[in-house]
């Protein structure tokens, strides 16, 4: 991207944003070493270049906002995006005008019915770093034991398989219903947890399965991660949230929530990790002349959540050759 074409306020935003990204300890993307997976709810991601929304009382997205979003996205290898709307103009522009031809996108169909808010789920990925494996599908619940059709999700969860440096993994993203009453979210959370732990997990365990690593990520509208029935429903079937992000809130303000999650089943997981994960809090770095609420209509009212996985298995391979346990601290300390 030619930053000399950007306005001064846009470049100033990006300078401050890069400081935030560095402060959030987002690791550099290193070929044959790591893959960085993220999730981000991009608020109502379709509106572009509207000068002012009188009803919302807040400005909408413009070129400067899209440049900021792109600057964040390109720090990751593949990112699940929620709230992509029926109109795909914004996400198409994100790729065509800002990220460029090295980036690709996969999107679900628009959710059916009024409850789904005409939303899609999407994965944006760097083709130089990851590639789709060929697996893609929407999660549709089967009939119950008596043959009665199950109530489906307001926004149908979306699963896609990816490959990165010889590693294979499947990303399942969801946007659980919101509702003013938190208990209204329990049914969807429980159904997703149970279905993921049985149907989808069984498929990844099956002999010959290509995607043995399942990562569940997205906006689950969970208020807290400790002592909360919503979080308990999310993890009741064995999903595990890495320690580095358990205390990280993904919205801003005094009533910030833990809405967004990244989790997996540790017993069936073979991707390597050193525990690096976090959020990118961009409040104050971008559109500093606006209130956080006004800024949220330009960028988002959620922060990106990310986890780094390692694709370099050289230590593991060398230890195996030498008959050493690679899990030992300093396994090669005795070699002189």
pLDDT tens across 6-54, in order? 899 999 999 999 999 998 899 999 988 999 999 999 999 986 554 434 3
Alpha carbon 299 to its chain centroid, in Å, reads 16
Q: Has residue 28 been placed in a domain? A: yes
Q: What is the pLDDT of residue 94?
A: 95
Is 332 a member of any domain?
no
The CATH number of whichever domain residue 210 belongs to comes to: 3.60.10.10
Look at the chain and report how many structural domains it folds into.
Answer: 1
State phi, psi for 225 to the nearest 5 degrees. -110, -5
Task: Please answer whether residues 309 and 271 qualify as being in contact, where contact means their C-beta atoms are separated by less than 8 angstroms.
Answer: yes
Q: Are 314 and 165 in contact (CB under 8 A)?
A: no
CA–CA dist 36, 19 (Å, integer): 19
Quick check: is 330 in a domain? Answer: no
Let me know if residue 261 belongs to a domain: yes
Q: What are phi and psi for residue 281, nearest 5 degrees?
A: -90, 105
**Which residues in the chain come in under a pLDDT of 70?**
1, 47-59, 113, 204-209
Task: Please state, in angstroms and rounded to a whole number, the distance separating the CA atoms of residues 239 and 190.
Answer: 12
In a domain, 220, yes or no: yes
Answer whether residue 142 is part of any domain: yes
- 18 is written with which tokens? 């890069």
- Please report whether residue 335 resides in a domain: no
List C-alpha distances in Å: 12 to 32, 140, 208. 33, 45, 51
Cβ distance 197 to 265 under 8 Å? yes
Sheet holding 34-45, edge to edge: 103-107, 119-126, 78-85, 34-45, 305-310, 277-279
Whether residue 254 is contained in a domain is answered as yes
pLDDT of residue 88: 92
Q: Give the strand pairing for 158-164 and 131-138.
A: antiparallel
Task: Write down the number of H helices and E strands in the chain.
Answer: 8, 11
Containing domain of residue 146, as a range?
Answer: 3-322
Q: What is the pLDDT of residues 129-154, one digit of tens each?
A: 999 999 899 988 888 888 888 888 89
């Amino acid at each position: 991207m030619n930053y000399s074409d950007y306005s001064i306020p846009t470049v100033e935003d990006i300078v401050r944003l890069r400081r935030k990204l560095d402060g959030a300890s987002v690791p550099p993307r290193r070929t044959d070493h790591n893959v960085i997976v993220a999730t981000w709810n991009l608020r109502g991601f379709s509106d572009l270049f509207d000068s002012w929304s009188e009803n919302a009382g807040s400005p909408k997205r413009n070129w400067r906002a899209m440049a900021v979003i792109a600057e964040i996205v390109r720090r990751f290898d593949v990112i699940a995006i929620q709230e992509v709307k029926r109109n795909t103009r914004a996400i198409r522009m994100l790729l065509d005008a800002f990220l460029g031809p090295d980036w690709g996108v996969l999107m679900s169909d628009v959710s059916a019915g009024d409850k789904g808010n005409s939303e899609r789920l999407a994965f944006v990925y760097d083709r130089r770093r990851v590639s789709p494996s060929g697996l893609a599908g929407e999660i549709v619940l089967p009939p119950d034991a008596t043959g009665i059709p199950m109530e489906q999700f307001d926004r149908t969860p979306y699963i896609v398989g990816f490959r990165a440096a010889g590693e294979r993994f499947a990303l399942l993203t969801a946007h659980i219903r919101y509702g003013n009453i938190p208990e209204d979210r329990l049914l969807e959370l429980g159904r997703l947890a149970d279905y993921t732990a049985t149907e989808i997990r069984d498929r990844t365990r099956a002999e010959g399965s290509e995607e043995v690593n399942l990562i569940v990520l997205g906006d689950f509208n969970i208020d807290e991660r400790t002592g909360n029935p919503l979080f308990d429903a999310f993890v009741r079937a064995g999903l595990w949230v890495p320690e580095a992000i358990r205390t990280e809130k993904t919205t801003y303000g005094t009533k910030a929530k833990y809405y967004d999650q990244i989790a997996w089943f540790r017993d069936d997981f073979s991707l390597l990790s050193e525990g690096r994960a976090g959020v990118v809090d961009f409040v104050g770095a971008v559109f500093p002349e606006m209130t956080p609420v006004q800024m949220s209509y330009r960028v988002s009212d959620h922060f990106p959540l990310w986890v780094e996985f390692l694709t370099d298995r050289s230590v593991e391979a060398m230890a195996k050759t030498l008959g050493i346990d690679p899990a030992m601290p300093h396994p090669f300390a005795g070699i002189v």
